[in-house]
Structure 1
Amino acid sequence: MLQEILTIASAGAAGGGNAASALKQMGVDHLITEFTTKPGEYPVQIAVALTLIIQSAMSWYWIVVNFIKNSALRRRGDSVTSTFWETPNAQDAIRFMEEQPKSEPFSKIALDAAQAAAHHQRHEGSRLVESLNRSEFVDRALRQAVTRESMNLESGMTVLATVGSTAPFIGLLGTVWGIYGALIKIGATGQASIDAVAGPVGEALIMTAVGLFVAIPAVLAYNFFMRANRITNSQFDTFAHDLHDFFATGSRVGEAANKR
């Protein structure tokens, strides 16, 4: 009886040791060790990991760049437009826009409209003036300017959308391939104990988790910046309409109404 109890106890201790050993094999540190010491056994998993690392670096780069750009745009946009309209002299207002940084979009839209109006005025009596009146010429310049600045807002959005939609599946590829390799090893060795299975399966599941960690920030950032870009595009359109009224008629619509 005593011998049976000792046998069961020793078996339980061995099982606990196997479980502890299996738990250690399921960590990220063990996965990195396997990749660095046995790269020939994990070609697909290493390729998946490198792809996810590159995607994560690209998405975080554009997250930071777009955050800085949108923050600067919100901080300076209202100030630039309000100063432009509050400046009583049109030449001083245009000079103020010329002093703005090259990355500031509202000033570029205003300068394009001013240049179009000045160009049309310089060519009075020519075929240009006969084919397009001032309103149409300024309107065309404003449309091109707004389209250009709207396209600039889209920088990096394709990368974020691509990473957000593909990273989970790339991670899943690493998981499926890892489990497939684990099943082959189990079939070849005939060992299906917890310490033999936990390591390969744990390594495989980590790839799915990494894919999700890469994709989630990209998706959240994409949705955030898309909403911010819609608001900014609306501000572009409003400012462009006011500029068209100003350079085509000499005053904004609201100002003309106030004068009457």
Structure 2
Amino acid sequence: MTPAAPDLAASAATLIEAVPAMGFGHFIAQSDVVGKSLLAILIVMSVLSWALILIKGLTQLLRRQRSEQFLGFFWNARSLDEVAAEIGAHGVRDPFGHLAAHAIHARQHHAKYGAAKLEEAGSAQDFVTRTIKKVLDEETTRLENGLTTLATIGATAPFVGLFGTVWGVYHALVAIGMSGAGTLDKVAGPVGEALIMTGIGLAVAIPAVVAYNAITRSNRVLGARLDAFAFELLTFLSMGSPLAENGRTATPVAPALQPLRPAAA
């Protein structure tokens, strides 16, 4: 090795040590209060989003299992009295049981007391219909809990990250201008670091959007099944006889469900 080789290696090592380490840690260390606040907001959004995803996912799984159990019992029961006795003994833990319990109680209440109050005015069928509509509205509201937060996070997180990027690029360019060094190596590092905030915003938003779409579809399917069950239950309570052979009913067509569909918010 020539004498100049050690000097060249030493100069390269000195140059490498002089170049500041770039990356997420360096970006956070160089960020001001605004940049760190935006990062904290994105972290809170991510934690809240994943908490809602896990809670809603587990709730939907339990609701689906309990609904299948209740529907299996309901259509194999010999009478509504047997259904009412089962509900009274074990309570309700699913939307279909909640709907059936209120509808049966409404019919029994109207048969016993009649139209004692304004909300009970009309025939027994009118009172049961209003009760079913009220329960459907309650179930729809319960299913939609948390969806507004997920939608908000999915829609705003990318812009929060983009704001952090714009803020970081601005300060990086100001610092470069004050130093007087406008070479590519001086510009690319700070600007590239500022893009980290956009990546974080997208990482927060994407799971929230995917979960919102999945949960919304699941709720729409459950709402359609509740509509069908409400129609069959109302007809059964009104006629006092099974709707089809073997105690099971066919799913009604969509136009017949419209009067029982709760109004959209």
1:74 positional shift: 1.5
Indicate the residue corresponding to 1:201 in structure 2.
191
Q: Percent identity?
A: 37
- 1:104 corresponds to which of 70, 74, 94: 94
* Higher mean C-alpha displacement, 130-139 vs 106-115: 130-139
Distance 2:187 2:226 in 1: 59
Distance 1:200 1:142 in 2: 61
1:235 positional shift: 0.9
Distance 2:54 2:115 in 1: 51
- 2:211 corresponds to which of 214, 218, 221: 221
Q: Are 1:31 and 2:30 matched, yes or no? A: no
Q: Which runs of 5+ in 2 are unaligned?
A: 249-265
1:245 positional shift: 1.3
Indicate the residue corresponding to 1:242 in structure 2.
232
Paired residue type of 1:31: F
| Residues 207-255 of structure 1 deviation map (CA, whole Å, 9 limit, x = unaligned) | 0000000000000001101110010001111111111112222124225
Indicate the residue corresponding to 1:73 in structure 2.
63
Structure with greater proportional helix content: 1
Q: TM-score, normalised by structure 2?
A: 0.81
Distance 2:112 2:91 in 1: 27
Q: Tell me the secondary structure at the aligned position of residue 244 of structure 2.
A: helix
Query: 2:155·2:205 contact (CA, 8 Å) conserved in 1?
Result: yes
Distance 1:123 1:253 in 2: 28
Paired residue type of 2:201: G
Q: Are 1:52 and 2:42 matched, yes or no? A: yes
Distance 1:53 1:247 in 2: 52
Q: Are 1:192 and 2:182 matched, yes or no? A: yes
Indicate the residue corresponding to 1:150 in structure 2.
140
Give the aligned length: 246
Q: Tell me the secondary structure at the aligned position of residue 215 of structure 2.
A: helix
1:97 positional shift: 2.5
Distance 2:33 2:113 in 1: 67
Q: Tell me the secondary structure at the aligned position of residue 78 of structure 2.
A: coil
Distance 2:48 2:85 in 1: 38
* C-alpha RMSD of matched pairs (Å): 3.2
Paired residue type of 1:241: F
- 1:183 corresponds to which of 173, 180, 189: 173
Q: Are 1:132 and 2:122 matched, yes or no? A: yes
Query: 2:70·2:96 contact (CA, 8 Å) conserved in 1?
Result: yes
